[in-house]
Structure 1
Amino acid sequence: MAANNLRDHLLAGLASLPGTREFHIHVLVSSPRKHTGLFPYAHPRPRAYLQDILILLSEQTTPESPRVLVSALEASLYNIPVTSSGVLYVQKVDSSGHSSAPSPTATLVRSFLTYHGDPTTRPIAVKNLWIQLFARAQGQYLFPNSSEFPGKRPLADVKLCAWWKRILSHVAQELHRGTKGKLMLRLYYILPGYNELEAIHALGDSHTLALSGQPDEYGWIYGHHYSQTDIPLPCPGDKWEGGATRNLGHFIPWFDDDPKSRFIDEIAHTANVNGVRSPKTKRPRPIHGKTDDRARMDPPREEDEEDKDRNRDKDGQPAGELGKVTADEFWERMSFRQECIAGAVTGFFAFGASSPTDAADAPGGMESPASSPLAPQPGQVPPRMVRRIVATLLNHHDFSTAERAVRATETLEGAVKGLCEDLAPAGMPSVKRTGDRPSTPEPETAGDAFEVPRTPPPRSKPLLPEISPSPFPEPVASLETYRSHIYGSISVRNPPLVPKGDGSAGTSSDAVKPVQPVTVLAVRKKRKVAS
């Protein structure tokens, strides 16, 4: 299998799963496009390049049985060349509940993160990579109505955060072993509203790493990663024009549907710490060269603090309260946000990996340092194709029963192949094959009715019009691309999973423990006094 092919890397990871079954995978990676919204409140904004990633995994228990989607992953990959940094934001991970045990979701996610963390297989030529995600338990994310299927057992809030911590710990161990300790790894997590002892007690400290050759402080660090200096942050520079130092806008990236993004938007539009103030009444303007008596009597007032805050970003200064709110205060106030106090435990995770210069420039990467970050690579598809598949998955299918899941799987997999053949099935708009690549952002057209709903961009920070069109033609999704990079399958023939508690495992930990008797105490009801 090709080392640089994401599809083959994921299939190789699934080959070790227990049981007898066949997996079918569809990997959609969009071509890079210019993006200036990763740090919308930094001045100047660093130029980044964005790729959309969607992975659909279906399972077939026997050759005669139909395929059914069991796992899905949606992510965004950002390339910031000025700091040789990449940011992999995992947006959504979901399982439909229709797979046989064990579920392949954990193995799929581990293989996906390891592929991007390893500098020899990383698809972008960067020295530093940050993996970020927000863990929030919900019944469904990518498979509509799958929470109604009796076979799906979504993890609760604490168990989901512990699951992500365990997944990232395994990824760190695999990267440390695969690179022979040459990769610098740092792991951070925050549970808003919890201090460190409470978080350790909630999630357990069993996933603390003890890797040889790493410093004592290596492992999970409770807190944010903005104050560390071991791995450079994506947003460049310590000093800016006019001697201004870094502010909150240089630390907090703006991701779609992320609580941090909504919070930093509010901070950037806040004139004081008590909230957004209403603008003051404007002084009357002269009419035909004349002013009224009140205007003549009022002396010209100087610009107040509210006006300064409103116009500060025009001069390259922080907008709103970005220059006053520190990173520590940001996370302290984050614990009072609605997303974090809704009665469920949520978690923010950051995984940093920094490789030596020679490792980052290794020929294993798909993109050489001399090539343009906008140059499409083999196997990539137009960004609009990825968004349309996500939109039709979220809006036009049902996974509440096995029959509906099979029908949805057949439609979605047929849609991916049909778009590569330029023969979209009913309900799926075809991808334009014109040679003119639209500028970024792409204009809204009538065909965008299938776009997935997204969090709107910041009001005062619209996408800049100076983003020029890409000099490279948009890739064409052909059948050759479909067969070589998008679709793949693998047959798994391994011993079945031994159930927990089965004494045949031969270990004391798997032995069946005797059931302790439980004494039930009866509660004597208090008699009512007769009136």
Structure 2
Amino acid sequence: MAISLRDNLLAALSRLPGTREFHIHVLVSSPRKNATLFPFAIPRPRAYLQDILILLSEQATPDSPRILVTAIEACVYNVAATSCAILYVSKVDSTGQGAVPSPTSTVVRSLLAFYANPATRPVAADHLWIHLFARAQAQYLFPNSSEHPGKHPLSDIKLCAWWRRVLTDVAGELDTQVRPGLKVELYYILPGYSEFEAAYALKNVSASAITTPSWRYGHPYSQTDIPLPCPPEHSSGLKNLGHFIPSFDDDPKSRFMDEIAYTTDGDGVKSPARKRSRTMSHGEGSHSKDKEAVVEKETQNGPLGELARVSADEFWERMSFRQECVAGAVTGFFTLGISSLLNNTDSPHSTVSPLAPQPGQVSSQINKRVLTSLTSNVEFSNVERSIRATEILESAIKGLCEGIAPIPTLNTHAPRALVNPRDFDRRTPEPETSSSQTFLAPPRTPPPRLAHGKRIIPDISPNPFPEPVTSLETYNSHIYGSICVSNPVTAATVGSQNMVAKQEDTVTEASHVTVLAVRKKKKRTE
């Protein structure tokens, strides 16, 4: 029997030093059809999307309350046409209210290794690509957690070094355990930095005991060792930029791709179609309609905008001038590719439809409701509010799995960044609604673009499989788990975990300027 993601994470947490108890909730949604991964590819590949949400709470003693310490939001795309999968890590956050050492890096590393290893990968794919975008922020998933004095967010360069170290450990573990027929490639780009500058910036903060496989500075779209997820055009076998760059939510690459697709020249974005004048003759009007029909046909049969003229090298060169990459902070794009040409005929997924829900998976609506409650209804600015937020979220997850609609909890201390005082004057009493409507997440992406009045991305056909029905058995067997840890703590372990906090404190102290007063010379008295 294959090990589940929950059990794999608990096994990794059991090796942490110290004495405490961990409580984990792992929500993996059932597969659903998705057409937004490569929206500008011709033809557009069929992909299947799954959401991943991991919440980890900690309990110092059996009598102490639980406090959430780590949260991870990720998603998995399965492209069956090329036997490729993409694991995109969207957000990783911690509250800074747990014991030392922090379990965040352990959980992240275990999650990546679970999907990277062909023996434990729950997706029927021979090749896996791990993508992530590193951008330092005070908080990602825990509202107002930056106000807690125990949280020490990593700076921009230290965050890039942290991700590089985590991916290096995952790649090194695969390189030593999985043999033969395995290929592992590591790529990274710091926009605005040359290869020498990026290596110099990370050399003092990205030390790792594992030196192989080595990193390559650049993008993976020119290599041929590991197949790329998006297949080429059927007719010519060619690829444009839309076949290389995947689009994710809240990712600067996606916004830049959108601009390139709707740009007709180097000076700006394509203007809307000019309206026909009322005084235009019948012949001129017919000619205008014929020309518009030709343009529409070219749009449907060929790549949009400059996608056919911008290469992958030029794309990353121009990314250095994007606002997200020149705002004064160092950002990084990291990619890990794994190719396993192993015999997967005995895999249980080989004869199952990629859309069929697996045991332990939940509806995507449950993930959205829990994520909305986490980012909107609670906060983590101090210990008392964090304890209350942990109780609300954990009880909501269990209630959703049991089919009991959780009662929306009014938060008297809502995150200040999400509250607009002017909205109180416009609020009116609303009729009572079901909790399913209360907890639905608002859309995070803009509506799809229109080309000549038609959708660029067609509507998705309905899923032939019904949404999975969760129960208390599903909750106890696949979603929730706990483990008591009691391991010796060495001085070296504590010192390495406290290094991050000490470095942040050093940066703060260095920014303080002490002004020395000039001593006045005393007058000599005769």
Which of the five TM-score ranges fits, normalised by the shorter chain?
0.7 to 0.9
Give the structure 1 partner of residue 137 of structure 2: 138
| Contact kept in structure 2, 1:134 and 1:349, CA below 8 Å | yes
Give the structure 2 partner of residue 355 of structure 1: 340
Aligned with 2:396 (options 407, 415, 421): 415
* Partner Cα separation in structure 2 for residue 148 and residue 336 of structure 1: 32
Give the structure 2 partner of residue 186 of structure 1: 185
| Contact kept in structure 1, 2:448 and 2:457, CA below 8 Å | no
| Contact kept in structure 1, 2:241 and 2:310, CA below 8 Å | yes
* Partner Cα separation in structure 2 for residue 146 and residue 383 of structure 1: 26
Give the structure 1 partner of residue 503 of structure 2: none
Note closer, same or farther for the CA distance 1:394–1:463 as it changes in structure 2 (3 Å cut): farther
Give the structure 2 partner of residue 435 of structure 1: none
Q: CA deviation at 1:181?
A: 5.0
Give the structure 2 partner of residue 456 of structure 1: 446
Give the structure 1 partner of residue 499 of structure 2: none
Q: CA deviation at 1:471?
A: 1.7
| 2:475 pairs with 1:482 | yes
Give the structure 2 partner of residue 340 of structure 1: 325
* CA RMSD, 1 decimal: 2.9
Give the structure 2 partner of residue 402 of structure 1: 383
Q: Percent identity?
A: 57
Note closer, same or farther for the CA distance 1:248–1:495 as it changes in structure 2 (3 Å cut): same
Give the counterpart letter for 1:328 in structure 2.
D
Once the two structures are superposed, residues 486-525 of structure 1 have per-residue CA deviations (whole angstroms, 9 ceiling, x without a partner) of: 00001100012415798xxxxxxxxxxxxxxxxxx99998
User: Residue 334 of structure 2 aligns to a residue in which SS?
Assistant: strand
Give the structure 2 partner of residue 323 of structure 1: 308
Note closer, same or farther for the CA distance 1:150–1:309 as it changes in structure 2 (3 Å cut): farther
In the TM superposition, what are the counterparts of 1:229-378 in structure 2 within 5 Å?
229-237=224-232, 239-241=233-235, 243=236, 245-279=238-272, 281-284=274-277, 312-315=298-301, 317-358=302-343, 360-363=344-347, 367-378=348-359
Once the two structures are superposed, residues 302-334 of structure 1 have per-residue CA deviations (whole angstroms, 9 ceiling, x without a partner) of: 988x9977653312x010110111111100110
* Partner Cα separation in structure 2 for residue 298 and residue 310 of structure 1: 16
In the TM superposition, what are the counterparts of 1:220-231 in structure 2 within 5 Å?
220-231=215-226
Q: TM-score, normalised by structure 1?
A: 0.83
Give the structure 2 partner of residue 152 of structure 1: 151
Unaligned runs of 5+ in 2: 410-434, 496-513, 521-526
| Contact kept in structure 2, 1:208 and 1:220, CA below 8 Å | no
| 2:152 pairs with 1:167 | no
User: Residue 71 of structure 1 aligns to a residue in which SS?
Assistant: strand
| Contact kept in structure 2, 1:19 and 1:496, CA below 8 Å | yes
Give the structure 2 partner of residue 385 of structure 1: 366
User: Residue 109 of structure 1 aligns to a residue in which SS?
Assistant: helix
| Contact kept in structure 1, 2:262 and 2:270, CA below 8 Å | no
* Partner Cα separation in structure 1 for residue 493 and residue 473 of structure 2: 44
User: Residue 73 of structure 1 aligns to a residue in which SS?
Assistant: strand
Give the counterpart letter for 1:256 in structure 2.
D
Once the two structures are superposed, residues 442-461 of structure 1 have per-residue CA deviations (whole angstroms, 9 ceiling, x without a partner) of: xxx98166305512254238
* Partner Cα separation in structure 2 for residue 401 and residue 378 of structure 1: 37
Q: CA deviation at 1:37?
A: 1.0
Give the counterpart letter for 1:173 in structure 2.
G
| Contact kept in structure 1, 2:24 and 2:480, CA below 8 Å | yes
Give the counterpart letter for 1:232 in structure 2.
P
| Contact kept in structure 2, 1:392 and 1:450, CA below 8 Å | no
* Partner Cα separation in structure 1 for residue 456 and residue 52 of structure 2: 21
* Partner Cα separation in structure 2 for residue 423 and residue 403 of structure 1: 26
* Partner Cα separation in structure 1 for residue 355 and residue 133 of structure 2: 28
Q: CA deviation at 1:411?
A: 0.5
* Partner Cα separation in structure 1 for residue 515 and residue 388 of structure 2: 53
Give the structure 1 partner of residue 420 of structure 2: none
User: Residue 75 of structure 1 aligns to a residue in which SS?
Assistant: strand
Once the two structures are superposed, residues 50-100 of structure 1 have per-residue CA deviations (whole angstroms, 9 ceiling, x without a partner) of: 000000000000000000000010101011010000000000000011111
Give the structure 2 partner of residue 43 of structure 1: 42
Note closer, same or farther for the CA distance 1:326–1:405 as it changes in structure 2 (3 Å cut): same
* Partner Cα separation in structure 1 for residue 294 and residue 165 of structure 2: 47
In terms of mean alpha carbon deviation, does 404-413 or 267-276 score higher?
267-276
Q: CA deviation at 1:472?
A: 1.6
| Contact kept in structure 1, 2:69 and 2:98, CA below 8 Å | yes
| Contact kept in structure 2, 1:157 and 1:344, CA below 8 Å | yes
Give the structure 1 partner of residue 62 of structure 2: 63
Give the counterpart letter for 2:444 in structure 1.
R
Once the two structures are superposed, residues 274-303 of structure 1 have per-residue CA deviations (whole angstroms, 9 ceiling, x without a partner) of: 1114346444357xxxx56xx879995798
* Partner Cα separation in structure 2 for residue 388 and residue 463 of structure 1: 29
Note closer, same or farther for the CA distance 1:460–1:522 as it changes in structure 2 (3 Å cut): closer
* Partner Cα separation in structure 2 for residue 308 and residue 274 of structure 1: 24
| Contact kept in structure 1, 2:169 and 2:210, CA below 8 Å | no
User: Residue 30 of structure 2 aligns to a residue in which SS?
Assistant: coil
| Contact kept in structure 2, 1:41 and 1:250, CA below 8 Å | yes
Give the counterpart letter for 1:424 in structure 2.
A
Give the structure 1 partner of residue 114 of structure 2: 115
Give the counterpart letter for 1:252 in structure 2.
I
Q: TM-score, normalised by structure 2?
A: 0.84
Give the structure 1 partner of residue 423 of structure 2: none
Note closer, same or farther for the CA distance 1:354–1:4 as it changes in structure 2 (3 Å cut): same
User: Residue 451 of structure 1 aligns to a residue in which SS?
Assistant: coil
| Contact kept in structure 1, 2:450 and 2:456, CA below 8 Å | no
| Contact kept in structure 2, 1:189 and 1:347, CA below 8 Å | yes
Give the structure 1 partner of residue 422 of structure 2: none
Aligned with 2:214 (options 205, 214, 219): 219
Give the counterpart letter for 2:230 in structure 1.
C
| 2:471 pairs with 1:472 | no
Note closer, same or farther for the CA distance 1:300–1:464 as it changes in structure 2 (3 Å cut): closer
* Partner Cα separation in structure 2 for residue 488 and residue 225 of structure 1: 37
Give the structure 1 partner of residue 196 of structure 2: 197
* Partner Cα separation in structure 2 for residue 125 and residue 351 of structure 1: 18
| Contact kept in structure 2, 1:310 and 1:320, CA below 8 Å | no
| Contact kept in structure 2, 1:37 and 1:463, CA below 8 Å | no
* Partner Cα separation in structure 1 for residue 162 and residue 375 of structure 2: 24
Q: CA deviation at 1:422?
A: 1.2
Once the two structures are superposed, residues 406-450 of structure 1 have per-residue CA deviations (whole angstroms, 9 ceiling, x without a partner) of: 00001100000001111132118xxxxxxxxxxxxxxxx981663
